Amino acid sequence: MYPALALCAIVAVSVAQPATRSQGITAPAPALAGIHKIQHVIIIMQENRSFDSYFGAYPGADGIPMSGGKPSVCVPDPLTGKCVAPFVDHKDQNPGAPHRDTDSVADVDGGKMDGFIANAEKGRCTGTNKCVADQVMGYHVQSDIPNYWTYANDFVLQDHMFEPNASWSLPEHLFQVSEWSANCTQHDNPASCTNAPSSPVNTDATCMGCDRKRSILRARATVSLSSSESSSMPRMAMMSCSDL
């Protein structure tokens, strides 16, 4: 239900091996085994979405609690005194909500999951400003995003996969390639870095793009480690992940 989150899909696709030729005779290539069956990995990262925003109504998924086809839960709106239930939102564009790590803590509210509207209203719904903070309760259905639902139908939809960093897009992108979002004071010295879940920067003025370079190097190491660890992979797989 939290729109200011990141949704990603990873599709691993296997392809047929080309035939080999020997003295004019065409023979099929040896069958690939294990991880080598996967020839291409396609990563689709959707910004500012949660699982419930896209798949909350997906049949069989652990999404929005329903009773009789209607949401059976709601989140309080401090400004109106009402409790707002999730609702279908067919709009292509939705207003964002605060989405740093501190906002995530406020949204979850110790596990009550009732702080989404209050946190979205904070500092935004004052004076004559029109407040649309309750739109964090909107979700989409298959007719809005048919391609995404097709991916879920054709591959696998994981409804219990969570991002490692409950924050905004840049830190999460860094985690995607390097498993770390940090502030660093020295070029090429990870020991000078400290965790930065919301504002990753490099304070070494002599190095432009050091964080990006470090992320790429760490990503290469991660890919090498992952490929050596896995001995059996499905021919096709899709993973969907959200921040919360």
Q: What is the pLDDT of residues 97-150, one digit of tens each?
A: 888 889 999 999 999 999 999 998 887 776 666 677 778 899 999 999 999 999
Q: If we measure between CA atoms, which residue out of 172, 173, 154, 151 comes closest to residue 55?
A: 151
The verdict on residue 123 lying in a domain is yes
Please answer whether residues 5 and 99 qualify as being in contact, where contact means their C-beta atoms are separated by less than 8 angstroms. Answer: yes
Please answer whether residues 159 and 238 qualify as being in contact, where contact means their C-beta atoms are separated by less than 8 angstroms. Answer: no
The proportion of the chain whose per-residue pLDDT surpasses 90, expressed as a percent, equals: 30
What is the tally of structural domains in the chain? 1
The DSSP output letter for 132 is -
The verdict on residue 148 lying in a domain is yes
More confident residue, 165 or 56: 56
Q: What's CA 152's distance to the chain center, in Å? A: 15
| pLDDT for 54 | 94
The verdict on residue 114 lying in a domain is yes
More confident residue, 176 or 86: 86
Q: What is the pLDDT of residues 162-186, one digit of tens each?
A: 878 888 888 888 888 888 998 888 8
The verdict on residue 77 lying in a domain is yes
Cα–Cα distance for residue pair 20/28, rounded to 1 Å? 6
The verdict on residue 22 lying in a domain is no
| pLDDT for 48 | 76
The verdict on residue 165 lying in a domain is yes
User: What is the span of the domain harbouring residue 81?
Assistant: 7-17+30-241
The verdict on residue 1 lying in a domain is no
Please answer whether residues 104 and 243 qualify as being in contact, where contact means their C-beta atoms are separated by less than 8 angstroms. Answer: yes
| pLDDT for 130 | 67
Distances (CA, A) of 66 to 59, 61, 125, 238: 11, 11, 30, 25
More confident residue, 168 or 44: 168
The proportion of the chain whose per-residue pLDDT surpasses 70, expressed as a percent, equals: 70
pLDDT at 39 over 80: yes
pLDDT at 55 over 80: yes
If one counts every other C-beta atom within 10 angstroms of the C-beta of residue 101, the result is 17
Q: Taking residues 191-195, report their average pLDDT.
A: 90
15 confidence band (pLDDT: 50, 70, 90): low
pLDDT at 51 over 80: yes
The verdict on residue 139 lying in a domain is yes
Average pLDDT, the chain: 76
Q: If we measure between CA atoms, which residue out of 242, 188, 239, 195 comes closest to residue 215?
A: 188
